[in-house]
């Protein structure tokens, strides 16, 4: 539908271009009559057909490159990597070719000196009866190259400004109203951007315009008319008529492409209603609980969460379907699936923020030397950590006690199981060092640093060999072998230590080079935006879940929400604590930046502030409804 409307609006844009290209304010009647006569000519109709093919290709690329989660490069080298990515290179080349086709159509419809690439000319040294030669029309070449330049610039800004990002509207409106509201902004943005494109192209043509001119004239065996001023000079570029028609060509190109891009965004982000309960058995995979708990394309999941947010606020009938029980059995499958997915999303965001805060806190600490002992993955503490992480993944809810402070969260991997003795010989020496316990029998105690020299001391513990000689039970052997393997794994080899030291030396050397750091240093604001790039999902999950919980106070007849209310409150409060801690970090701004009205959406830069507001609103909404019952 978006492609069809773009093609249907193309004749309107073409008619406006033909009228403005033949601008003659001193003879308005002749200007209007000639413009209307040109609209019915064969070359204008052919150009409309060719432009329809261009719009179709542009729409295909819009559909292939869209994203509901913006890709935010955190450093300049990451942005350069995106620009030279093969997909982006194909995108840029195709848009440059399409821009050249649009410029050719514009030159043909403008007529006059811009219409043909080769024109007849007579050399100055020839006689009057000499045969005219074919010369290169540099004005037509200027048009073609400017179209290619504008197409490539459009593709480059499409990547840099994240124009493939699909922002979902906060206020639901009809498609026509959304298009009509954005149309004046689209025209203004196209006119201004075309002005900058023409300026940049004139500068580029001044320095490099001689190269394509000589190459094309040599390849096509065309002469260069010496009677005309070359356009790669200041005199040639100061032609106001040339500048106006090049600018008008850029406006025509950008407006037609922006209309296709805008219509695609409007149709792709249109609200879609998913049934809560299937009417037939074949429709089970299309139901809202099933889609939320599966792995569909991201845009389908976004639309499902948007539908959940809307039904939780404005549809009492669909809310009753969420609170209903299955027949037979009497199980709240709909509510269980929806609440589990929402809590899983919020818990994942909480864990991601905790990881980001720990990394930010670790930047200010002293780095661990390369030769320092590290805890082996086979130590008892590591086993306990793996068990704890597995249990946290099973519950999908991060306990609040584990996030009381960054210090506690950073010390969590060093905790041991209740049955293991920290000072015993069965624990890892590295674990004892981390816990602040020194073992006098350890080879690392004292001034001796070589792992081959063992300091002998009084035996305070019975060794495994003594137990075997005394006929003791062999159950302690697996524990002893695990401890020995752990102590062997703790000891780093000489090659590993040397490689680590060399790596640190190279990093320190490169970090002192200004040019290297200019490209590789990460921008703090971009890193924060990347963490919250998909926060729109969590905002909808927060709003949908809180509205359903608030409505359950009067609409939940079976009390299905009461069973998960503690887990919901625990998750929301935990996320609130983590979000508040995030905004207290030194490099994080506490106020949203001022966003000017522009055609290109930049709302993803303020998603963290919208998340904070939605989280507070959700907590107040639940506590206000339940009040003293909590």
Spatial CA neighbour of 605 closest among 121, 165, 6, 213: 165
pLDDT in tens, 71-86: 888 888 888 888 999 9
pLDDT in tens, 394-416: 344 444 334 443 333 333 333 33
Work out the average pLDDT over 316-324: 88
Q: What is the pLDDT of residue 490?
A: 53
pLDDT at residue 447 tops 60 = no
pLDDT band at 51 (very low <50, low <70, confident <90, very high): very high
Q: What is the pLDDT of residue 420?
A: 38
Q: What is the pLDDT of residue 385?
A: 37
- Do 357 and 578 form a contact (C-beta atoms < 8 A)? yes
> Which carries the bigger pLDDT value, residue 211 or residue 465?
211
Q: Which region among 123-137, 211-225, 431-445 has the lowest average model confidence (pLDDT)?
A: 431-445
Mean pLDDT of the residues in the chain = 77
Spatial CA neighbour of 115 closest among 25, 43, 61, 205: 43
C-alpha span between 335 and 352 (Å, rounded)? 26
Q: What is the pLDDT of residue 363?
A: 66
Whether the ω angle into residue 269 lies within 30 degrees of 0, i.e. cis, is: no
C-alpha span between 251 and 195 (Å, rounded)? 8
C-alpha span between 457 and 320 (Å, rounded)? 74
C-alpha span between 368 and 273 (Å, rounded)? 54
pLDDT in tens, 166-218: 888 888 888 889 899 899 999 999 999 999 999 999 999 999 988 988 899 88
Q: What is the pTM of this model?
A: 0.74
SS3 195: helix
Q: What is the pLDDT of residue 403?
A: 40
- Highest mean pLDDT of the ranges 261-270, 434-443, 522-531: 261-270
């Amino acid at each position: 539908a978006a492609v069809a409307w773009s093609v249907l609006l193309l004749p309107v844009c073409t008619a406006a271009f033909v009228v403005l290209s033949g601008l003659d304010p001193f003879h308005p009647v002749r200007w209007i009559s000639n413009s209307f006569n040109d609209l019915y000519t064969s070359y204008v109709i052919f150009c409309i057909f060719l432009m329809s093919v261009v719009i179709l290709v542009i729409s295909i690329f819009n559909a292939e490159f869209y994203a509901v989660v913006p890709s935010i490069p955190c450093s300049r080298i990451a942005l350069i990597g995106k620009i030279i990515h093969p997909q982006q290179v194909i995108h840029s080349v195709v848009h440059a070719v399409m821009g050249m086709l649009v410029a050719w159509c514009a030159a043909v419809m403008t007529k006059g000196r811009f219409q043909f690439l080769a024109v007849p000319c007579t050399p100055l040294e020839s006689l009057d009866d000499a045969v005219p030669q074919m010369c290169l029309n540099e004005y037509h070449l200027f048009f073609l190259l400017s179209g290619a330049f504008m197409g490539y610039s459009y593709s480059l800004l499409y990547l840099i400004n994240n124009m493939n990002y699909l922002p979902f509207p906060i206020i639901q409106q009809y498609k026509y109203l959304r298009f009509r509201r954005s149309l004046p902004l689209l025209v203004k943005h196209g006119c201004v951007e075309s002005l900058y494109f023409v300026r940049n192209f004139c500068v580029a043509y001044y320095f490099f315009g001689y190269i394509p001119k000589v190459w094309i004239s040599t390849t096509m065996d065309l002469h260069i008319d010496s009677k005309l001023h070359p356009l790669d000079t200041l005199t040639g570029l100061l032609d106001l008529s040339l500048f106006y028609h090049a600018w008008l060509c850029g406006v025509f190109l950008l407006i037609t492409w922006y209309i296709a891009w805008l219509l695609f965004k409007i149709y792709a982000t249109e609200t879609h209603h998913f049934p809560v309960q299937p009417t037939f058995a074949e429709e089970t995979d299309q139901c809202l609980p099933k889609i939320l708990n599966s792995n569909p394309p991201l845009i389908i999941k976004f639309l499902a969460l948007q539908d959940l947010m809307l039904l939780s606020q404005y549809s009492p009938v669909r809310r009753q379907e969420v609170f209903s029980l299955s027949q037979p059995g009497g199980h709240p499958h709909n509510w269980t699936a929806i609440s589990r997915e929402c809590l899983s999303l919020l818990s994942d965001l909480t864990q991601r923020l905790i990881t980001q805060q720990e990394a930010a806190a670790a930047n200010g600490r002293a780095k661990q030397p390369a030769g320092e002992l590290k805890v082996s993955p086979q130590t008892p503490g590591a086993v306990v950590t793996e068990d704890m992480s597995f249990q946290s993944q099973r519950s999908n809810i991060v306990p609040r006690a584990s996030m009381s402070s960054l210090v506690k969260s950073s010390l969590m991997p060093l905790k041991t199981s209740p049955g293991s003795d920290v000072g015993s010989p069965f624990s890892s020496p590295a674990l004892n060092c981390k816990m602040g316990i020194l073992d006098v029998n350890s080879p690392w105690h004292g001034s001796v640093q070589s792992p081959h020299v063992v300091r002998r001391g009084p035996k305070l513990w019975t060794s495994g060999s003594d137990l075997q000689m005394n006929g003791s039970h062999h159950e302690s052997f697996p524990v002893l072998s695990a401890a020995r393997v752990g102590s062997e794994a703790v000891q780093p080899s000489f090659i590993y230590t040397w490689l680590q030291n060399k790596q640190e030396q190279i990093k320190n050397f490169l970090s002192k080079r200004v040019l290297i750091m200019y490209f590789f240093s990460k921008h703090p604001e971009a890193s924060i935006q990347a963490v919250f790039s998909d926060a729109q999902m969590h905002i909808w999950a927060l709003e949908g879940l809180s509205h359903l919980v608030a409505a359950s106070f009067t609409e939940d007849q079976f009390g299905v929400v009461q069973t998960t209310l503690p887990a919901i409150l625990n998750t929301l409060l935990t996320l609130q604590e983590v979000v508040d801690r995030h905004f207290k970090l030194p490099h994080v701004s506490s106020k949203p930046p001022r966003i000017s009205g522009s055609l290109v959406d930049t709302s993803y830069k303020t998603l963290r502030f919208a998340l904070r507001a939605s989280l507070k609103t959700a907590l107040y909404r639940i506590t206000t409804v339940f009040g003293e019952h909590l």
